[in-house]
Chains A and B, each alone.
Chain A
Amino acid sequence: MKVEQISIFMENKAGRLAEVTAILKEHGVNIRALSLADTADFGVLRMIVDDTQKTDLILKKAGFTVGKTEVVAVEVMDTPGGLHDILEVLREKNINVEYMYAFVQQNSDRAVMIFRFDDVDTAITHLSARGMTVVPGKRLYSM
């Protein structure tokens, strides 16, 4: 039920992000979702891609520091309060969200949110128990 996310350490330098996307383009990797967290000096680029193994390999080969993290993808109704329903469950169960970002999906009445929890398994158990749809990695990579 978990999704693998690739993360890269990047210094805040002009053109650095383009270097990453150039490598991905060259190897035919498709970015499914992306978020960038940054400070004054450095940032962390997080991505869901269609081929995690390959991306890990080519980026490491290009000299990047690459991390792989397990995250959880949850379907959200594309209506007011959709996200709130999920967060409500997490609040009740006292599950901490380290960070979250949205997944791009076309022509659908549902959105997908990517969550990073400190306790992934507990989160999945509680979300599933409350009828939330946790999207498995396999489906997500090819969405």
Chain B
Amino acid sequence: MIYDMEFETLPREALEAIQLKRLQATLQRAYATVPFYRDRFREFGVTPSDIRCLDDMEKLPFLIKQDLRDNYPFGLFAVPKENVVRIHASSGTTGKPTVVGYTARDIDTWASLMARALTAGGAKRGDIIHNAYGYGLFTGGLGVHYGAEKLGATVIPVSGGNTKRQITIMKDFGPSILTATPSYTLHLAEVAREMGVDFRELHFRHGIFGAEPWSEAMRRQIEGDLGLSAVDIYGLSEVMGPGVAVECHEAKAGLHIFEDHFIPEIIDPETGKRLPLGEVGELVFTSITKEAFPVIRYRTRDITRLVAEPCICGRTMVRMEKVSGRTDDMLIIRGVNVFPSQIESVLMMISEVEPHYQLEVHREDSLDILTVKVEISQKLFTDEVRGLQNLERMIAKNIKEYLGISAKVRLVEPKSIARSEGKAVRVIDHRRL
């Protein structure tokens, strides 16, 4: 099913005409109302009228997370404060939070895009949506909520936490759609099991999961444990919130970007140059309909590639592959870009569960040496030294085969890799560059 048949299936040419018109309007408005954009554009010697076609976008400066922090809290708003009807903010784990605002029309646009996204995930009018994304400053809960209402579904605004009560609600209310982060979903499944509730006997048909990266292996696990069809949804508060892109449940092969509202670009994170369609790089978004908080060439730091081939679902919008990593974590080893997530995929093939690992790089005689430390698990352990050495060799061989780089693999004791706030520190770079 497609929610907005007219726009979601626009022919390329018509779509690009709309994009250009909306882009030019956004640039004019941002330039006129946000001192930051005016100053930055002048610095780069560019004005909105220089952008005559979509390719001209390359002349525009990037917007980065630090710019948002520097203009904390409302410095990048493009409308008078009395027109802002909603504020959201990121958690700000690394520094000040970033604050975003919405006009009434922005909220309505967002709701429509979320209605599109929920439909792509398999929801329809009449469905009961169990919405376990957190409600609050985080965009997840309210984003899904407004979309669900727009769609005409019944929404249970359960938010996160109080997991046992959530299971009871699921049993009693019979929701058919689950929206949550993938990690909380696995937690829900575990608690249900402890309570003697079989998820597969509940009424769920579809789940729309996002707000954090998750793998195909996790999709298989969620679909198997919960007995539903799972799609990935993408968004970030700086750009809007959830509903920037979503997988269709028909193909589950990449996330359709709602290009009539956001223009995606893929750039080389090192040089900032735009990459040809299909190449892997950093995802950059420009919002072209937002009023309160327009973003122009915002660097998401998410690594992915775009796929233009038509999709079986009928949507014409370009797809982005599941996000494969973050530029923050990128390592360049002997000239090859390496993301921790790539190493993670290789390890997943071997152990079938997410292992704890850490990448260490140092330099010996001007040569980069990558060491991959992997925590031994009960499952991987064998009391034969030869078996353990074979395991190390097999991991190294797979890394070489899939990523094209040589790595030294070292098995280490469980819990020996430092974790900060529960998250493992993935990369230690000893090189002085």
Interface residues of A (CB under 8 A from B): 5, 7, 9-11, 37-39, 41-44, 46, 63-67, 69, 98-99, 116
Of B384, B385, B389, B412, which is within 8 A of A11 by CB? B412
- Structural contact, B411 and A9, CB atoms closer than 8 A: yes
**Separation of A51 and B46 alpha carbons in the complex (Å):** 78
Given contacts A10-B413, A41-B410, is CB(A67)–CB(B382) below 8 Å?
yes
> Is B414 interfacial (CB-CB < 8 Å)?
yes
Contact among A5, A42, A63, A64 with B383 in the assembled complex (CB-CB below 8 Å): A5
Shortest C-beta distance, B390 to chain A (Å), equals 12
Cβ A9 vs Cβ B384 within 8 A: no
Which residues of chain B have C-beta atoms less than 8 A from A69's C-beta? 383
Q: Does B378 have its Cβ within 8 Å of any Cβ on chain A?
A: yes
Residue in chain B with minimal CB distance to A9: B376
Chain A residues with CB below 8 A from B410, complex form = 41-42
Q: Report B-chain residues with C-beta under 8 Å of the C-beta of A7.
A: 381, 383
B388: Cβ under 8 A from any A Cβ? yes
Mark B residues whose CB is within 8 Å of A.
376-378, 381-385, 388-389, 410-416
A98 to B382, CA, bound (A): 12
CA distance A37 to B413 in the complex (A): 16
7 new A-B contacts at CB < 8 Å, known A64-B414, A99-B384: A9-B381, A39-B388, A42-B388, A42-B412, A44-B388, A63-B413, A65-B378
Task: Determine the distance from Cα of A42 to Cα of B378 in the docked complex, in whole angstroms.
Answer: 16
A31 vs chain B, min Cβ distance (A): 16
Question: Closest B-chain residue to A11, C-beta based?
Answer: B413
Given A63-B414, A65-B413, A44 and B385 contact (CB-CB distance below 8 Å): yes
* Structural contact, A39 and B385, CB atoms closer than 8 A: yes
Can you name the residue of chain A whose Cβ is closest to the Cβ of B415? A63
In the complex formed, the residue of B with least CB distance to A118 is B384
Give B66 Cβ to nearest chain A Cβ, in Å.
39
The residue in chain B whose Cβ has the minimal distance to the Cβ of A41 is B410
Q: A11-B416, A39-B389, A41-B411 are in contact. Are A67 and B383 (CB under 8 A)?
A: yes
List chain B residues, Cβ under 8 A from A66. 378, 381
A47 to B378, CA, bound (A): 17
Whole-angstrom CA separation of A63 from B378 in the bound complex: 11
Cβ B383 vs Cβ A65 within 8 A: no
Cβ contacts A to B, 20 pairs, < 8 Å: A5-B383, A7-B381, A9-B376, A9-B381, A9-B411, A10-B413, A11-B412, A11-B413, A37-B385, A39-B389, A42-B388, A42-B411, A42-B412, A44-B385, A63-B414, A65-B376, A66-B381, A67-B378, A98-B384, A99-B384
Chain B: CB-nearest residue to A37: B385
Q: Which residues of B contact A41 (CB under 8 A)?
A: 410-411
